[in-house]
Structures are given as C-alpha cells and as structure tokens.
Structure 1
C-alpha cells in the first residue's frame, strides 16, 4: 500500500487495516503450523521411499538371478513355457490425508495363482524366479506409491513455504507500515483538531 492508494486517515480505515493485519498474522501462524506437519510427514515419506526402493532393487536382482539360472539350465524355450498360465497382477492402494493434502498410501499387489491347467516351469530355478518376481512386483508397488506420496507432500510443503514467505516478508510488513502511517496521521489530525478547538474557544472568550 502507498499513501496514494491506502485507506483514508480515519478510524474506520485504521480498523480495516488492523483487521487485515490480524487476519494475515493468523494466516501465517496457521500456514507455519501446516508447514511443520508437512515437513515431518515428508521426511517420513522420503525414508519410506528409500526403504522401499532398496527392497525393490534387491527383489529385482534376486529374481533376475533365478531367471538367469533357469534359462541356463533349461534353455530360452523354457522361459516362454514358464510364463503360460500366469494372469495379470492387480495393483491397489488407498488414500490418506495429511492436513488436507491427499496422497496414496498402503499399496497392495494381488497376483493370481498359476492356472491349474498350465504346465509348471521346467526346472526349480524358474519356480524360484516366479516367486521372486512376485515379490518384486509387490515391492515395486510399495515403492511407486511411496514415491508418489513423497512427491505430492513435498510439493505442497514447498507451496506452503512460499505462501508463508510472501506473508512474512511482504504482505504483513506492508500492512504494519500502513497501520503505523495511519496511526501517525490520526494522531496529527487529532492534535490539529484540538489546537483549532482551543483557538476557537479563545476567540469566543
């Protein structure tokens, strides 16, 4: 606000600015509280993301190791036969809310059993590979959900931090400056009124 565009030097104008300042201060406090919660939650989600990423990579490495052994033992043609009778996996998750920010949580992966009519893999290594890939799919689901949740909460924390900075560094100081200027203007106006009243009383006397 500037002197040219600010409210007139009146008590009503001062009350409006005072109210705006109170709202801004209260808003900044609420946003700072929200930011603290989001930061704490974001740190937790980042740790979960890292843990699930490590678990997923370990599961993939183990699955690839068993797969390679199975192919070496039985040949590449056994790999195609081993995939017959396998259904598509079903990925699900639910949502949670952190101070109004919705994000995915609690992922699950349902992998159907092999069809009873399908032939079993040609060697034990391929059976281990199938079990390992099931674990890798489940671990990958948890990793994907943790990664997305961390991204959403982190983005909201950044946006909230910008809003707090705008209030604390710009809007609130401007309102405080305007309020101080109005206080000074009102004080000067009341002083001038008092001088005029004394001067008028003196002339009447």
Structure 2
C-alpha cells in the first residue's frame, strides 16, 4: 500500500473532521443568533410603538402650545445645547451591538408661557429618549441579522460544498488504496503459486547417461 496514499488519506480525514466540527459550531452559532435576534425584534417593535406614540403626542402638544403661546415662545423653550447619547455595548457570539442607551439631555431654559408649553417640552424630551432607544435596538437588530445571514451562508458552504468535496476526495483515495492493496495481494498470491509449483517439480539429474 502506498505510503503517499496513506498520508493523503490521513490528511483528508483530518480536514473532513475539522469541516464537520466547523459545521456543528456554525449551526450552534446560528441558533444562538436567531434566538437573540428574535428577542431584539420584539424589543424593537415595542420601542418603535413607544416612540411613535410619544412623537405623535409631542407633535400634538407643539401645535397646541404654538396656538396658545405663539411660535416665538416654542423656539425660546428649545435648549441651546444638543443632547448626547452614551451607549453600552452588548455582545452575542462575538458580535457587538448597542444596548441600553443613556440620553444626556441639556437643561431646559426658563421661559414664560402656558402649561401647555411646559408639557410640550417634557413630552418632546420623552420622545427623544424613546427615539434613541428605538434607534439603538434597531441598529442592534441590523447587526445581528447581518451576522446571522453571513453565518448561514458559511454553514451552507461548509455543508453543501466543502464537506461533500472532502468526502468525495476521501472516497477516491480509499478506492485507490483498495485497488493497490488488491493488486499487491494478487501479486503476492501469484508469486506464492509460482514458488509452490517450482518446489513440486523433481530436480533434473546431472551427469552422463549410463550404458545398459
């Protein structure tokens, strides 16, 4: 049996074991990512609903306060500094994503106006915080969905292309080794048969022929 053939068989068997192990790991990763993505999708739906409700309320109270106090008072009630966001990062199977964002709101200026204007400022701040939460969970959902799609693609490539190719390569090597082993076995048998045939023949006498 060829030493090169045996070495090739061992090499392909190791690669096949690695490929099958990789497929199992990718399958496990896919299930974990799918579960986490489902959780984020539920959170995103709740966050979207909360943000849309608060955004509608903010728009409604802005119209009311503008009607009562005028647009000048509404503009004066807007903070002069922008809001900030601080993100905490979570992770699922090595994929980082934003979660639980903290919105840093600037201090509201002291302005005159009706209670409607004051409530308008409050509901706008709440709507902004809800919008930040929705944006963060939506971004997390997109990141995990992209990684899940990539994981599924890699798993299909391993299971549908890499593993079958290695299995076929291993089968070819085994067939070649079996053929070599059969050929060697037949050669040894033929040699043994020739040797046994020669051993059964009487040896030819040497010397001169006698006279009767």
Normalising by structure 1, report the TM-score. 0.90
After TM superposition, the runs of 4+ consecutive aligned structure 1 residues lying more than 4 A away are: none
1:18-52 CA distance string (max 9 Å, x none): 11100000000000000000011111111111111
Gaps of 5+ in 1: 1-7
Report matched runs for 1:161-180 at 5 Å: 161-180=152-171
Contact 1:81–1:121 under 8 Å retained in 2: no
1:158-194 CA distance string (max 9 Å, x none): 0000000011111111111111121111111101101
The alignment of Structure 1 onto Structure 2 pairs a total of residues equal to: 194
Q: Secondary structure at the match of 2:28?
A: helix
Q: Which residue pairs with 2:146 in the alignment?
A: 155
Match of 2:18 among 11, 20, 23: 23
Report the Cα distance in structure 2 between the residues aligned to 1:80 and 1:102, rounded to whole angstroms. Answer: 39
- State whether structure 2 residue 134 is matched by structure 1 residue 143: yes
Report matched runs for 1:1-205 at 5 Å: 10-83=5-78, 85-115=79-109, 119-205=110-196
The Cα of 1:157 is off from its aligned counterpart by 0.2
Contact 1:14–1:179 under 8 Å retained in 2: yes
The Cα of 1:9 is off from its aligned counterpart by 6.9
Structure with greater Cα Rg = 2
Q: Secondary structure at the match of 2:67?
A: helix
Report the Cα distance in structure 2 between the residues aligned to 1:121 and 1:168, rounded to whole angstroms. Answer: 69
1:131-174 CA distance string (max 9 Å, x none): 00110110011001000000000000000000000111111111
Gaps of 5+ in 2: 197-212
The Cα of 1:87 is off from its aligned counterpart by 3.1
The Cα of 1:86 is off from its aligned counterpart by 4.5
Report the Cα distance in structure 1 between the residues aligned to 2:102 and 2:143, rounded to whole angstroms. Answer: 19
Normalising by structure 2, report the TM-score. 0.87
CA-atom RMSD, angstroms? 1.5
